[in-house]
Structure 1
Amino acid sequence: MAQYFSILLVLITLGTGLVWLLDKLLWAPKRRAALARAEQAAGGELDQDSREKMLAHPSWVESCRGAFPVIAAVLVLRSFLFEPFQIPSGSMMPTLLVGDFILVEKFAYGIKDPVFAKTMIPTGKPKRGDIIVFKYPEDPKVDYIKRVVGLPGDKIIYRNKHLYIQPACAEGVKECPGLSEVTSVDKGKGEFYLGNFPLDRRTETLGDVKHDILLNYAFPDRVGEYFEQPGTRPDEWIVPQGEYFAMGDNRDNSRDSRFWGFVPEQNLVGKAVFIWMSFDMDRSPDSWLPSWVPTGVRFGRLGPIH
């Protein structure tokens, strides 16, 4: 849907821009020439009302002239700088909640054309711990949001709720890093639930990023549903070059790279950087209002995303 909107925005910008250009270079000079001929035929300058009528733009041209700079500014802002997204599910809890509205930095991983999403100017690569928005590999029309866990060349193991990473060995390095468990600190449970089960909240450190995750120790890992990479065990993966391994912070309620594989670099949309609005969606089933109507605003959640 977002891709279709981008294409529509480009077409509208081109259409209104073309009208603006034709009016500036062709139609406006013709109106001025017609005015000059009318004044010459009248033997002098016409009155102000007549001059304004002859020089006036047609209403549809005036609409396009007024809309063009606004639409062009929106196109530049949305395509190359920032794009708003809404969090639709709880897969990134507790970092992001249903009802959060976020800004995604589009230029974080390259400036791309708004139609074909091909990188025109490289600007950077995802880092471990980044929260990324990307085109879902199994259905590129759908936008997904997850956290980068594995970089190209990394070995990832997720076993019994424990995450292990062996970073890729840099070329020319004699001693490569070994496999190590990602550290996490217990913060208690009972704040969040999955059904009737209270979730354990832990603070995890991924690279330079500290963030909270949720775990349900009463819920076994769904190893039988994991994406199987040839040459590795069912709960192990080696990230190919040009791809990334991404997981949700709500580990037992997230369909992520464990289940469908890796995120190709060309699927990257941008980096989630800011919560600009957050609505509480906790409406009871017996309410006469639709479930999508907010019950309040969570002002305390506004700010940078970590």
Structure 2
Amino acid sequence: MKLLKQLWSWTGTFLVALVFALLIGIFIIQPYKVDGHSMDPTLYDKERMYVSKLPHTFSYMPDYGDIVIIDSRVDRTRTFKDDILENPLFQLIVNTTDRAFFVKRVIGKPGDTLEFKNHKVYRNGQALDEPYLNEQMNYESTQKWVVPEGHVFVMGDNRNHSEDSRMIGYIPLDHVIGKKIF
């Protein structure tokens, strides 16, 4: 009987710890591993970082230049169920490797007009100073992008090898999963 009580105590402690770990990973902080070279030279393939989930939890608008994790599936609505199933603990259990999450830099916020000319990004008519870029951007377009309310425009630092808002479109604020903290 004493062994059964001890076993129950350990099980209860384990379950409480599991619930706390899930809550922290869903709402506060989460580890993330960079997959690919779209953020070179700022972040490298397989580099590990920690992401604050507070902007996602409280729907904060990220600042210009913030490095964020986005859900690139902009054609679908995100739910709380997504946040739970994308938690690293569940990912270990189900052993999935979903490539829908990208690491990008916030370039435009609601109301901004973005243009790509002279191998530079222009926000509201001003060329951006981007010291984090390793090479000149080879992309130019006559299109003007106006970021709609509740969305951001993101790009990778390796502009010539990045799938970003130029391809997938504006990112809804609820698809910004978190902000890099270290």
Q: Would the TM-score normalized by the shorter structure come out above 0.5?
A: yes
Equivalent in the alignment of 2:135: 215
Report what 2:5 is aligned to.
57
Q: Does 1:71 align with 2:18?
A: yes
Counterpart-to-counterpart distance in 1, 2:33 and 2:148: 30
The number of equivalent residue pairs is 160
Rg larger in structure: 1
Shift of residue 62, structure 1, vs aligned partner: 4.3
Aligned alpha-carbon RMSD (Å): 2.3
Letter of the 1:250 counterpart = N
Percent of aligned positions with the same letter in both sequences?
A: 28
Q: Which of 115, 126, 133 lines up with 1:180 in the alignment?
A: 126
Q: 1:134: how far off?
A: 1.5
The aligned residue for residue 85 of structure 1 is 32
Displacement after TM superposition at 1:54 (Å): 6.2
Partners of 1:161 and 1:215 within 8 A in 2 = no
The 1:73/1:54 distance shift into structure 2, 3 A limit, reads closer
Aligned pairs for 1:124-139 within 5 A:
124-138=60-74
The C-alpha deviation readout for 1:198-240, integer Å capped at 9, x for no partner, is xxxxx1xxxxxxxx112256xx4275xxxxxxxxx43x20000
| 1:65 alignment partner AA | G
The answer (yes or no) to whether the contact 2:34–2:48 under 8 Å persists in 1 is yes
Which blocks of at least 5 consecutive residues in structure 2 are unaligned?
Answer: 77-97
- What's 2:44 paired with? 97
Instruction: Determine helix, strand or coil for the equivalent of 1:215.
Output: coil
Distance 2:15 2:66 in 1: 35
Task: Give the 4+ runs in structure 1 shifted more than 6 A.
Answer: none
What's the CA shift for 1:65? 1.1
Higher RCO structure (Cα 8 Å, ≥6 apart): 2
The residue type equivalent to 1:89 in the other structure is G
What runs of 5+ residues in structure 1 fail to find an aligned partner? 1-52, 112-121, 167-178, 185-202, 204-211, 224-232, 275-306
> In structure 2, what is the equivalent of residue 28 of structure 1?
none
Q: 1:160 aligns with which of 118, 132, 154?
A: 118
Task: Give the TM-score taking structure 1 as reference length.
Answer: 0.48
TM-score, structure 2 length as denominator?
Answer: 0.78
* Residue type at the aligned position of 2:133: I
Aligned to 2:102: 144
| 1:1-306 to 2 correspondences below 5 Å | 53=1, 56-57=4-5, 59=7, 61-107=8-54, 109-111=55-57, 122=58, 124-138=60-74, 142-166=100-124, 179-184=125-130, 203=131, 212-216=132-136, 220-221=138-139, 233-234=142-143, 236-274=144-182
